[in-house]
Amino acid sequence: MRGSGPGILLAHGGGGSVAGNYGPILDDLATTHTVVGPDYPGSGDTPRSATPLVLDDVADALVATAVDAGVERFTVLGYSLGTAVAVRIAVRHPERVNGLVLTAGFAYPDNRIRLAVRVWRDLLATGDRTLLARYLTLLGTGASHLDALSGDQVEAGVAALADYIPAGSPEHVDLVAAVDTRPDLPRIHVPTLVVATAEDDLATPDHSRRLAAGIPGAELVEIAAGHGIGAEARDEWLAAIRSLLARVR
């Protein structure tokens, strides 16, 4: 937990962490809000789960962490898999949720995501972290951002990602494949901003458009970035989040 002011609860992506997915904007958010960012089992300092992850359980655990920290109400920021967690939090704990920001998300995995996570899972099983990092870099980086990097920068990024892969990634990837929050969307009645990553080859912009169309009154913005929006379009992402936070306030 960091900062002070109205509450923010962070839900990170599969195979990610709060620091990995929200690191570029954490300090900025904490200048105006109390930010609670629990990692899922197997990420950060959270022990790995011995059983498959269940979306309801992950959602409830994040809420419990915030409440235990004294943050009774909050806006939920969900990224990638975290958008499904955020939606489920809003449905299961409506009395605690002030608003939602859903970035690079999806309500269910289409065939493209299913194929991507199947390869991800198979690469995890090989134990070749560098090969997995190359695959995730290709899949998760917008074309314009990737092409602007030098060869050395690409290799450095791959090496850093290979060192970062969380131990709980297999459980995270399996949860991605199991998500379906379509029945939840019409039940959300808090201010919601959906941020589509317009150059995303994993959670393509159509996923965000369908999320926004399914949530009553949701606003949709599109930002020119791949799945790794924090690295590719930090300022634009932060500005979009702040626009929702101001509306909630």
Per-residue pLDDT tens for 217-234?
Answer: 999 999 999 999 999 999
Question: Is residue 166 scored above 90 in pLDDT?
Answer: yes
- Spell out where 12-88 has E strands: 34-36, 74-79
The residue-averaged pLDDT of 150-175 equals 97
Kindly report the average pLDDT of the chain as a whole number. Answer: 97
The residue-averaged pLDDT of 50-62 equals 98
Three state DSSP letters for 86-101: HHHHHHHCHHHEEEEE
Per-residue pLDDT tens for 125-136?
Answer: 999 999 999 999
What is the predicted pLDDT for the residue at 155?
A: 97
Whether this prediction's pTM lies above 0.95 is answered by yes
- Spell out where 86-225 has E strands: 97-103, 192-197, 219-223
Query: Which of 37, 34, 101 lies closest to 71, judged by CA?
Result: 34
Per-residue pLDDT tens for 70-127?
Answer: 999 999 999 999 999 999 999 999 999 999 999 999 999 999 999 999 999 999 999 9
- The answer to whether the CB of 105 falls within 8 A of the CB of 220 is no
Q: How confident is the model at residue 249 (pLDDT cuts 50, 70, 90)?
A: confident
